[in-house]
Amino acid sequence: MHYSLLDLAPIPEGQTTADALRHSVRLARAAEAAGYHRHWLAEHHNMPGIASSATAVVIGHVAAATSRIRVGAGGIMLPNHAPLMVAEQFGTLAELHPDRIDLGLGRAPGTDMDTARALRRNMAAGDTFPQDVMELQAYLGPATPDQRIRAVPGTGTQVPLWILGSSLYGAQLAAHLGLPYAFASHFAPAALDQAAEVYRQTFRPSAQLEAPYFMLAANVFGADTEAKARYLRSSVQQAFVRLRTGQPGPLPRPVERIEDHVPPHYLSAVEEALSVTAMGTPEQVQAGLKTLIDRYQPDELILASQVHDIDARIESFEIAARAMQALGGTAA
């Protein structure tokens, strides 16, 4: 089993966007050394705490700073873009970094509706996500004699596509199209069991994939003590509450007692959202990851660690890498 990394390019409180982008490069290099298979970045807009809105640009920057690790989107929010432009962007990345680029696709806007309107200019009346995925797939595939519009670069690069989701919709679409499926259980685990089952049971082989391939997303907060790991996790707990209450901002500094900063009813909702988590000492992280692997039997695990301090964030991911190797995970 491969283990991979989801980088939300957080802008820590008290730091700058430039700092966040430098941190992503540091993290990618550390992840490459630790045997991570992929380094994925996600598209968000109008979010003061996330630096990866121009996702393809950041992917190119990270790929240029590394040599082996796969770099990709986890994901591109396809309703925000014309499929042809996405094909050109990722076709260019694939030409610059052969066999290292992934393209995960999401159906949500990755932002609020006012910002979505600003991105799209004209909001489509219906859901065209399945058609857009197939159009994008065609642009990245081999050219056909009667094809009038081609992605240049893009045509023939066959950048691997993934469907991302947190509901049965994405599971069903990924199965129908014969694409790998990544479930966003690191923040929306409610439909995880059912989505995994639906995807595996209804999967249809395709030119890209012969058998279902399921990626599970999990949070990890590793440190030398359990108390420190809980302290590190408090940043993302605060960030969730601020987002849910319409006050998004930079990734907050950690606090000693989260219950002194978050009301009980909000804290309960955050705990539920972050329930797919391995946290604590290296031994506790390994036990937590083993529990998740035993229960869900993923083909690949992708880990997120929203930690304010970059050195502590890298250490958390390195603890997780050692845990995965001890569990039989394949170091890239």
Task: Say yes or no to pLDDT of 248 above 80.
Answer: yes
Cα 43 to Cα 32: distance, rounded to the nearest angstrom: 22
Cα 132 to Cα 136: distance, rounded to the nearest angstrom: 6
pLDDT bracket for residue 126 (50, 70, 90): low
Cα 149 to Cα 121: distance, rounded to the nearest angstrom: 23
Give residue 81's pLDDT.
92
Secondary structure (DSSP) of 128-172:
-HHHHHHHHHHHHS---TT-----TTTTTT-PPEEEEESSHHHHH
Q: What is the pLDDT of residues 11-33, one digit of tens each?
A: 999 999 999 999 999 999 999 99
Give residue 108's pLDDT.
79
Burial 47-66 (b: 16+ CB within 10 A, else e): bebbbbbebbebbbbbbeeb
213: Cβ contacts below 8 Å, ≥ 6 apart: 180, 181, 299, 300
Give residue 109's pLDDT.
64
183: Cβ contacts below 8 Å, ≥ 6 apart: 164, 165, 166, 170, 171, 192, 195, 196, 214, 215, 216, 217
Q: What is the mean pLDDT of the chain?
A: 95
More confident residue, 116 or 91: 91
Task: Say yes or no to pLDDT of 124 above 70.
Answer: no
The pLDDT of 170-183, averaged and rounded, is 98
Torsion sign across C-alpha atoms 93, 19, 4, 34: positive
Q: Domains of the chain (ranges plus CATH)? A: 2-326 (3.20.20.30)
Task: Say yes or no to pLDDT of 121 above 60.
Answer: no
Cα 253 to Cα 29: distance, rounded to the nearest angstrom: 24
Do 197 and 169 touch, CB atoms closer than 8 A? no
Cα 161 to Cα 140: distance, rounded to the nearest angstrom: 10
Give residue 125's pLDDT.
55
88: Cβ contacts below 8 Å, ≥ 6 apart: 151, 152, 153, 154
Do 301 and 324 touch, CB atoms closer than 8 A? yes
Task: State how far Cα 245 lies from the chain centre.
Answer: 23
Query: What percent of the chain stands above pLDDT 70?
Result: 97
99: Cβ contacts below 8 Å, ≥ 6 apart: none
Q: What is the pLDDT of residues 263-292, one digit of tens each?
A: 999 999 999 999 999 999 999 999 999 999
The pLDDT of 237-248, averaged and rounded, is 92
Do 286 and 326 touch, CB atoms closer than 8 A? yes
Give residue 113's pLDDT.
74
